[in-house]
């Protein structure tokens, strides 16, 4: 059963620390999305890659967030420095071509103290 794998599942860190979240998309998928979910805002798109190229990162705070795809099997989302307001669940999703269907990973639950 193919699935999107995210690590770590939980992360507790102190304000100012660097946080790196990883995502392994489903093999063969060529689109990758990063979302942040909070109770107040719901799911917000942070970044979107197609064939490893970033297409849209307008939802991402550029001063502290960065997203990359070093290769087709790995996507990373980094926060440096982290702040308490970054506490949320971060989801990665992958998809294929123009199907427009996204398959989500289990998420990384981040708490910044």
Partner 1 sequence: RKEVEQDPGPFNVPEGATVAFNCTYSNSASQSFFWYRQDCRKEPKLLMSVYSSGNEDGRFTAQLNRASQYISLLIRDSKLSDSATYLCVVNKESGTGNQFYFGTGTSLTVIP
**Six token digits for residue 97:** 């071509």
* Rounded-to-integer distance, Cα 83 and Cα 59, Å: 17
Phi/psi region, residue 84 (left: phi>0; alpha: psi -120 to 50; beta: rest), is alpha
Of 91, 94, 110, 112, the residue at the interface with partner 1 (CB under 8 A) is 91
Contact flag: residue 104 with partner 1 (CB under 8 A): yes
Of 5, 20, 26, 43, the residue at the interface with partner 1 (CB under 8 A) is 43
Q: Site residues (CB under 8 A) for partner 1?
A: 31, 33, 35, 41-43, 45, 48, 50, 55-56, 91, 100-107
């Amino acid at each position: 059963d193919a699935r999107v794998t995210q690590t770590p599942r939980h992360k507790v860190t102190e304000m100012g620390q660097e946080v790196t979240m990883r995502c392994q998309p489903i093999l063969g998928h060529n689109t990758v999305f990063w979302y942040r979910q909070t109770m107040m805002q719901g799911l917000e798109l942070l970044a979107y890659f197609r064939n490893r190229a970033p297409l849209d990162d307008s939802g991402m705070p550029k001063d502290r967030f960065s997203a990359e795809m070093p290769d087709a099997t790995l996507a990373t989302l980094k926060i440096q420095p982290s702040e308490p307001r970054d506490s949320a669940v971060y989801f990665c999703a992958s998809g294929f071509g123009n199907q427009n269907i996204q398959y989500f990973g289990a998420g990384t639950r981040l708490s910044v103290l």
